[in-house]
Amino acid sequence: MQTIVNLWPLLGVAAIILGFLLHFNPLLAVAAAAVITCLAAGFPVREVLATIGTGFVKTRNLPLIILLPLVVIGLLERHGLREHAQAWIGRIRSATVGRLLIVYLFVRELTAALGLTGLGGHPQMVRPLLAPMAEGAAQSRYGKISDALRYRLRAFSAATDNVGLFFGEDIFVAFGAIVLMATFLREAGIEVAPIKIALWGIPTAICAFIIHAFRLYQLDRKLDREFGRPSDSAKRNADGEPS
């Protein structure tokens, strides 16, 4: 006897997609999708409202936790955090964009492997510090940079943070995905300790580091070809050749 599966709750997924395509407020789109899913699944309206109210009461302090760091970062940026970061990295002659991002990739992946995922991130690290430092390293090496290069450096900075976090946190034994995999395998009759799953994430993290570090090394070489090495320019000027 076949069991009939109710597919109407999938309307919630369609509601989220439609809300994002029409550029609705994300919070309203997700809330509407949750209500649509519950009603399509046959939940009583009273129970749906009670569940939403309970969730709101439990997480009412969450916006404060999210907004406070953003306020602090905004104040730091207003008082010259980006400019100081650019000036500091510009004083390091050996610093290049690729070397800077490779160091950050290593630190980000290592700290994520230890469970310290909050030490990095786009709003609190990439935007106010890492991207300005990458731009400062490029300006110190090549002079004034174009907006196209500036946006490309910001994209590489954000990608470096993503790679370090994504593959580093898979090594942390208490990471939610590892617990989920261990639970799923246990229900399927396969007993695997979470620590073993985490250990098998180490080779993948090492490969991810090597691959992305090579991409960053190639970025340095490409920038040198496009804009010329400053040392070469200085040598030509010392020899009396036109730069």
Q: What is the pLDDT of residues 40-66, one digit of tens each?
A: 888 888 888 888 778 776 666 556 555
Q: How deeply is 44 buried, as exposed, middle or buried, from its count of CB atoms within 10 A (0-12, 13-18, 19+)?
A: exposed
Residue with tokens 């073993």: 196
**pLDDT > 90 in the chain, percent:** 27
Position 98 scores a pLDDT of 93
CA gyration radius, the chain: 24
What are the domain boundaries of the chain?
8-60, 81-238
Neighbours of 156 (CB within 10 A): 20
Give the model's pLDDT for residue 158.
Answer: 95
Is residue 240 packed enough to be buried (19+ CB in 10 Å), middle (13-18) or exposed (0-12)?
exposed
Instruction: Please state, in angstroms and rounded to a whole number, the distance separating the CA atoms of residues 73 and 84.
Output: 14
DSSP character string of 33-101: HHHHHHHHTT--HHHHHHHHHHHHHHTTTHHHHHHHHHHHHHHHHHTTHHHHHHHHHHT-TT--HHHHH
Least confident of 141-145, 147-151, 201-205: 141-145
pTM: 0.66
Calpha distance 209→201 (Å, rounded): 12
For the segment 152-173, the average pLDDT, to the nearest whole number, is 93
Output the average pLDDT for the chain. 81
Q: What are phi and psi for residue 136, nearest 5 degrees? A: -65, -40
